[in-house]
Amino acid sequence: MRRPWSDVVIDDCGEPLVSLKPRFLCLEPHPYACVGAPYGEDADPYRLRSGVLKRLIAAQTLLSMRSDPEVGTVQLAIFDAWRPIRVQAFMVEHAIQEQCRSQGFDPSDPLMAAALQQVQSDVAKFWAPPSPDPCTPPPHSTGGAVDLTLADSSGALLEMGGDIDAIGDQSIPDHHAKEAEENPYGEVARWHGRRCLLNEVMTKAGFARHPNEWWHFSHGDQLWAWQQQTPGAIYASVSRSC
């Protein structure tokens, strides 16, 4: 599935990948490593381009000036960052298999071909294809994209009204907006408020949010360039973590 931003030209600026761990709460063990994603021994997923790290620090600084009505001080919690294309391929297939399992059918059954096709279509709305084409890299392979959420000061993740990587409407950033407006003091309003807060600090720091995913933000990749209407992207795919 081609995205509207797939034709954006990429001219890589050469920034290295740098670790997020010294400065940010990173989920351990890594969620994708837990299901067998093939990172390899030298591939730390908690890395981003150096320019993206600077902007992420800026977002955390902005967040430190705000608070959550329920828990007070909040911080960014990193779910995933740099993702090699081989891991992207593994996780796309994993997502398809999990969707088939949740719907109660065997994807290898020829009689379920139509159902499998629908699942593949649903997954493609959220997972970029693991394209080896240098002109259409998956966002996370560039080191310019990050999946993240909010946590309290102790590191406990906050409820955001839908899990990261959930396949469905609950992942759309403004999914809870209407109900939040109708009941501004309810639980759903808190979820929507947290999504808005996350988007606010990330946008002010120079990130662009994925239109289908409340947790996905990027800077320097094709999606960012398309949303910002810049001449081109500055990050191509990175095959190694060091």
Query: Would you please indicate which residues are annotated as catalytic (active-site) residues?
Result: 213
Angle, vertex CA 79, rays to CA 74 and CA 85, nearest 5: 155
- Taking the C-alpha atoms of 97, 101, 103 and 107 in order, what is their torsion angle to the nearest 10 degrees? 50
Alpha-carbon span 133 to 85, nearest angstrom? 10
Residues 7, 233 contacting (CB under 8 angstroms) = no
Closest CA to 47 of 85, 76, 19, 86: 19
- Beta-bridged to residue 147, according to DSSP, are 80, 216
Whole-Å CA distances, 120 to 12, 93, 113, 130, 167? 31, 9, 10, 14, 11
Q: Assign 73 to helix, strand or coil.
A: coil
Angle, vertex CA 17, rays to CA 16 and CA 18, nearest 5: 110
Residues 46, 21 contacting (CB under 8 angstroms) = yes
Whole-Å CA distances, 136 to 128, 209, 210? 10, 18, 16
